[in-house]
Structure formats: structure tokens, C-alpha cells
Amino acid sequence: MTVLVTGGAGFLGSHLCERLLNEGHEVLCVDNFFTGSKRNIAHLLSNPDFELLRHDVTFPLSLEVDQIYNLACPASPVHYQNDPVQTFKTNVHGAINVLDLAKRLNAKIFQASTSEVYGDPEIHPQPESYWGKVNSIGVRSCYDEGKRSAETLFFDYHRQYKLDIKVARIFNTYGPRMHPNDGRVVSNFIVQALQGIDITIYGEGYQTRSFCYVDDLIDGFISLMSSPDNVTGPMNLGNPGEFTIRELAERVISLTGSNSKLIFKPLPQDDPKQRQPDISYAKCTLGWEPQIDLDTGLLKTIEYFDHLFASK
């Protein structure tokens, strides 16, 4: 098939493009390079089945493809809060444009949604049936409410136009090709540890997160996209292993052999206190669950950043 991946030069998008090529598909990667990087897909450019198009999904697309994965949107608070209006436009206008394309082509379409739709949850772990607790006017709402609005659009197109949709709610994912300055906790801690500077923890470090290695997540994407038509999601994809931020920092220091110390700063507005996926639906429906433990994934990610810094 010919598969369109919007946001294909980003962290997740580049891994997805690589996997789809390995499975024998032709891949059209669309990215405006706001947070994506040509470095992430440089090794794919010589592949005759790979094509790169510089384009912003807030403008309509006129293409011929069989499937669409919509991953276009900055995913870290540092980047999506840098231009919140554009972030919301990317979520909403971008969704409308890819959905209109899928409708014209009668193509199956996948939406990369997020655990941020649950906000600062009152239910733990979070099942797909939970509607969430989100501040609609806060500094994170451009992303949180943008993704919630995109989900609304996907299900309305599904109900009204019978579009074949797949919606995944992604929990914290990490691995090679993360942006070193994206402000996300795993990349922050690894970069600080490798540079020997103090590791910054917001709050007291007792808030929890669940960390999924990128290869496991891409397996989930492919499995969900290949599932029967009546499996639309939304479906949680993430690793249910739960760790405090302080535990993560201590593991990174140990694995890097760093002398970095922990320093503490005030907790940002609307930062969730707990985040853990209930993946019962994915396990039952897809037979999917993560295989890579945190230490193994962290070592692969540390190696990537170590090589990145050495090459510079």
C-alpha cells in the first residue's frame, strides 16, 4: 500500500515510517519541520519507496494514498506552548484536512491522540471510558483540548460518513530520536545526566508516569491499524508500569554513571499527579502489550543521546 504519515519526520513518525517501509509499503512522509527533523529520516531518503513532502497539515492535502496515519502535532509542553494557537489549529484544522482526504479516498485513517485527554485524572489507572478532568482554559489546553477536539471530529466523520477510523491514546513514550530540548522528562533527565549538570525535578518528584519504549508503541500502532473495522478505539497504548519522577531520575543517574544531583522547582500549572494506562482493551482486542522493560529502553535511549552529543 501507499501510506501517508503526517508528522513523519518527528520522533514517533520517523520510527513508524521506518517500520512501514520494512513491511513493504510505500511511504509518503509529510512534515513542516516545526519539531520534526530531517536527521530523523535521513537514512530513509535513499529508499525508492520513501517520499518526503514539506507541508503544513493546517492546509488541505491533495494526494493519492491507501492509508493515513495522522501524527502531526508538537507533543511536548515546551513546543506546543510556544505557539498555542498554531498547536490548536494543527489539531483541529489538521484533523479536518486529513479526514477530508480520507473521505475522498475512502482510506483507513489513524489518529495519534494522547493520554493528555484525561487531564489530571481522578481515576487511576485511566480506562478509555473515563472522560477526564481537563482545564479548558489553561496553558496546556491548546494541546489537551486540541486532541480532544480531534477525537470528536474523527468519531463524527465515522458516524456521519462511515469513515474507517482508528484512534490511539498514547501514554509517555521514549526512545532514540527524541528531541534533546523537547522538555519531556526522559530526554531532560538523560541530557542533564550525560552533561553532568543537576537534574531538574518539578514538584517533589512523587508524581507518577508510565514509560513506553518506542518500538512497543509502534507495534501497537500497526496492530490497531490492522484490526477489524469495528475496532475504532479510542484505545490506550502505553506501558502500565508506573514510576515516580524521582525514581526515573535515580535510574537515569545510575545507568549513565553520572554525578548529577537532584534539584527541585515548582510544579507547572495543570501538571497531572498520576498517569498510568489501563491497557485491558488493547490486550484483549489486539493481543498487544509492551515487551521492553524500563532499564533496557533507557539504555538504548542513553546510547542514542551519547552518540548524538559525540557527533556534535
pLDDT (0 to 100) of residue 217:
98
pLDDT (0 to 100) of residue 305:
97
Residue extents of the structural domains in the chain: 2-172+213-239+274-290
Which positions are catalytic? 143
Residue with cell 530540548: 181
Closest-CA residue to 304 (of 241, 214, 242)? 214
pLDDT (0 to 100) of residue 11:
97
pLDDT (0 to 100) of residue 51:
98
CATH of segment(s) 2-172+213-239+274-290? 3.40.50.720
pLDDT (0 to 100) of residue 67:
98
Q: Is the whole-model pTM more than 0.85?
A: yes
Beta carbons within 8 Å of 213's beta carbon, 6+ residues apart: 173, 174, 175, 239, 290, 292, 296, 297, 300
User: Mind listing the pLDDT tens digit of every residue in the chain (312 residues)?
Assistant: 999 999 999 999 999 999 999 999 999 999 999 999 999 999 999 999 999 999 999 999 999 999 999 999 988 788 888 899 999 999 999 999 999 999 999 999 999 999 999 999 999 999 999 999 999 999 999 999 999 999 999 999 999 999 999 999 999 999 999 999 888 899 999 999 999 999 999 999 999 999 999 999 999 999 999 999 999 999 999 999 999 999 999 999 999 999 999 999 998 877 788 899 999 999 999 999 999 999 999 999 999 999 999 987
